[in-house]
Amino acid sequence: MRKGKSIFLEDESSLGHMLAPPELLKFMDKTAKKLNMSRSAMNRRVMEAFCLYMEEAKVFGKTTFFNKKQTVGTWLEERNDFHRMTDQVEKLLTEIKTAKTPDEKIALLSTQVAVMGHMINLLHKTTMT
């Protein structure tokens, strides 16, 4: 006999049935309470966000959640990339301060924003693995 409790994706109906172990249910209840929502609402939001994450990762050719685990080498390489990007953002900041024309400043700022976007994506990806 399977251990666990039947839960549903919808509170008012039997849609989205799954069997969850008691430890997971406790964790889900605790997390849903912190988010000030029902467990079912949290499950729906998590599933939606996860599906969007997977689609974006595929579109950009990035690692999806279920790909192979990262090696230490990959982790170190990404960490070094993050440090290089930090240096690049700081360099762009000094260039923005010395730029003469507004167009120059806008071009440098847009480059800086793009680099920071890559940093955020890299940070998000490394916290998911």
Other Cβ atoms closer than 10 A to 67: 10
Q: What is the pLDDT of residues 34-91, one digit of tens each?
A: 999 988 888 888 888 888 888 887 777 776 666 666 677 777 787 788 888 999 999 9
pTM tops 0.75, yes or no: no
The pLDDT of residue 58 is 78
| pLDDT number for residue 129 | 46
Q: What is the mean pLDDT of residues 1-18?
A: 65
pLDDT at position 91 is 93
In the chain, DSSP assigns E strands to 5-7, 18-20
CB 78 within 8 A of CB 122: yes
